[in-house]
Chains A and B, each alone.
Chain A
Amino acid sequence: MALESILFWLFAMLAVGGGVGVVVHPNPVKSALFLVVTFFALAGEYVLLMAHFVAIVHIAVYAGAIMVLFLFVIMLLNVQEESRLAGVWGFMRYFSVVLFVALFVQLGYFGYQGFFGAENVPLVRETEIGTVEQIGTALFSQYVLPFEIASILLLTAMIGALYLSKQKLGLGEPARAARVKEALHEKEEAH
């Protein structure tokens, strides 16, 4: 038990620290690496909650694939350190402080309610819930419709991304010439 709570706090602090690092670090690559740290810590928390499957998938998908792509794009675009935005939106800084405080008050309030509220439901430890079998069963029985819609959703996103980024239009020479002409025309109008 003690070991578990030590690990919990360790991972929690790591996650929050990583999250803060993502936001405050000026260098985008390091920000992304901080995010990886956060993902790791979160995966650790999942393991503590006995959700091994979720933990591993979290690492494999987020840390292993998505963040690698992120880093790839950041490095490919060679994003420099962000310049300071202060001055232009000076009042935003104070506004953000207000929002920040509001969010923490809110979180504290809900946390308080959750701990000491009247309907404090005793937590049941479901050791079975995180196993692959359970997740698979849930996905293919109760949640089969959302699961399948998610596939349509991803398909849509994929078609969209491919359309917006593909190079050849396959329209043939006349259309391309027309487009060039149009671009020139637009330029003239701008003058």
Chain B
Amino acid sequence: MVTINIGSSDFAAILPILVVCAFGIYLMVQGVLAPRIHKLTLAYIGLAGIMIAMVSNFYLLGIETDRAYFEGMVFVDKLTVTLNFIFLLTAALCLLLMTSYSEQEEIEFIEFTPLILFATAGMMLMGCAESLMIIFLGLETMSIALYVMAGFRRFNRFSLEAALKYLLLGAFATGFLLYGMALIYGTVGTTNLTQISAYYSENALNLNVMALFGVALLVIGFGFKVALVPFHMWTPDVYQGAPIPVTAYMAVGAKAAGFAAVLRVLVLATGQAAFEWSQLLWLLAVITMTVGNIIALVQSDIKRMLAYSSIAHAGYIMIGIVAGNETTVSAVLFYLVVYMFMNIGAFAVAGIVSGKNEQHVDIKHFAGLGKSQPMLALVMTVCMFSLAGFPPTGGFMGKLYLFKAAMESGYTWLVIFGALNTLISVYYYIRVVVAMYFQDSKESVKMAAVLPGVGLVLLVTLLGIFYLGIFPGTTLSLLY
């Protein structure tokens, strides 16, 4: 007879995911039953769903007991709750950006809102996964939604190119990931991360080739998703072709989800094995930072520039992962939060400047923004300074924590490389600021009006960056 040991507490553990999925399905039905509904209404219903999910996430904070649910499928701890907040906030901000973006470009919210909700659900699953199976399914849910969202301007060939490239390379990377998972399963005999962790720490000294190979393939698969350097080739083209709010969502959400899975698997589960690879991860971090920053120097397109910058930032976060000590998780989470604010802020401004059909995405189009739109220019400046890592912004504190974690583990050279890279990156971030304040626009750029939705996004990012830069301690203690 069928015995199902699943109670209401199990469902409570994935409450935010359930809420988000339910709203996604509801919005689809809504789109079918009332096709003439105003598109923004759909977006606002989606936002409401995300808000409710956030509230239910507080409930999760209440039941959070550091234990697994669904017979060892998901795990609820502080990391889960924090990651859920990051994903939900990212989704909310990007959906707000999309509402204003739809003034410039026709976007169909009937499909878009469910997709972004499902993608968020996938990310949250990756954040709370306790089994390789859930990581894989969450990753695929997220990725498939993102493939489509990248091609959402489906009458623009760059957008379609982005979607196709992302799909093909993403499927390839998924293959690596699955192969790695299969090898780990073959060694350990389970997909449960706790048991995998136990196996790896027991046999830390005599791991067989299969176990190590599995971890290496996982690194490749995750490396693709978070755009580490040998696996980063898709990033600039995809970021350039995708609609700007989607780019922001990919740059922040997908990266955070990838690092969430890395934290779950490489740091918390196979930590012992990952140390065998730490030299390799060290190398990956350095190459990623350096290549990302150096190529970003010569970019004239703001989206490509931010794409390379996001690659460089993946490298910075890898510093924290390589450190692999007890401060790793909090440092990485803190950096992810900061990264979310500053990147979404930068993309929001870029989205407004780009105008109709994203025609003004060059850095030269930012010329004179300081005079014509001082508030926008201010937000962009703050985001750029934060990305470059100047105090008193959050970017500075984030880097500080990452470097501190690395120093504690004795990776001095890694920190030196990180600092050097930060110096390099200043050049291209400042270029945008210089263009805004010290150059005059040659052509009159017609900009979309700043809608209340975007205004809210800009305000939130501005406050977030400064708050995290000035009072980092309270947030850090809340995170993990």
Which residues does A use to contact B, with CB under 8 Å? Answer: 106, 109-110, 113, 136-137, 140-146, 149-150, 152-153, 155-157, 159-164, 169-171, 175, 179, 182-183
Contacts and interface: CB of A to CB of B under 8 A. Distances in A.
A146 B140 contact: no
A140 B70 CA distance: 11
B4 A140 contact: yes
Contacts of A160: 111, 115, 144-145, 147-148
Interface stretch (B131-139, B258-266, B343-351): B131-139
B51 to A, nearest CB: 21
A150 B137 contact: yes
Contact of B6 (A106, A137, A141, A183): A141
Contacts of B53: none
Given A163-B111, A164-B154, A141 B21 contact: no
B443 interface: no
B118 A155 contact: yes
A145 B74 CA distance: 9
Given A144-B70, A153-B140, 19 more contacts: A106-B213, A141-B2, A142-B71, A143-B133, A146-B133, A149-B134, A152-B118, A152-B122, A153-B122, A156-B119, A157-B144, A159-B114, A160-B111, A161-B148, A164-B151, A169-B108, A170-B108, A175-B106, A182-B155
B92 interface: no
B208 interface: yes
A109 B2 contact: no
A156 B125 CA distance: 15
Main secondary structure of the interface of A (DSSP, over half): helix
A163 B148 contact: yes
Given A109-B209, A145-B74, A153 B144 contact: yes
Contacts of A152: 21, 24, 118, 121-122, 141
Contacts of A106: 213
Contacts, number: 96
A153 B6 contact: no
Contacts of B122: 152-153, 156
Given A146-B137, A149-B125, A149-B138, A141 B4 contact: yes
Contacts of A163: 108, 111, 115, 148, 152, 154
B7 interface: no
A179 B144 CA distance: 27
Interface residues on B, range: 35 or more
A155 B114 CA distance: 10
A150 B6 CA distance: 18
Contacts of A170: 35, 108
A159 B115 CA distance: 8
B357 interface: yes
A183 B153 CA distance: 13
A159 B111 contact: yes
Nearest to A161: B148
A179 B106 CA distance: 10
B113 to A, nearest CB: 10
Contacts of B147: 160
| Nearest 10 pairs of A and B residues by beta carbon | A160-B148, A163-B111, A149-B137, A145-B70, A156-B118, A145-B73, A153-B141, A141-B4, A142-B71, A146-B133
A132 to B, nearest CB: 12
A106 B71 CA distance: 34
Contacts of A146: 73, 131, 133-134, 137
Contacts of B70: 144-145
Interface in B81-114: 106, 108, 111, 114
A175 B154 CA distance: 14
A19 B25 CA distance: 40
A65 to B, nearest CB: 20
Given A140-B2, A159-B115, A149 B106 contact: no
A144 to B, nearest CB: 6
Nearest to B72: A142
Contact of A141 (B24, B71, B154): B71
B208 A113 contact: yes
A120 to B, nearest CB: 13
B342 to A, nearest CB: 29
A152 B20 CA distance: 11
A107 to B, nearest CB: 11
Nearest to B154: A164
A170 B37 CA distance: 12
18 contacts: A109-B209, A110-B186, A113-B208, A141-B6, A141-B71, A142-B71, A149-B134, A152-B21, A152-B24, A153-B122, A153-B141, A153-B144, A159-B148, A160-B144, A161-B148, A163-B115, A179-B155, A182-B357
A163 B141 CA distance: 16
B215 interface: no
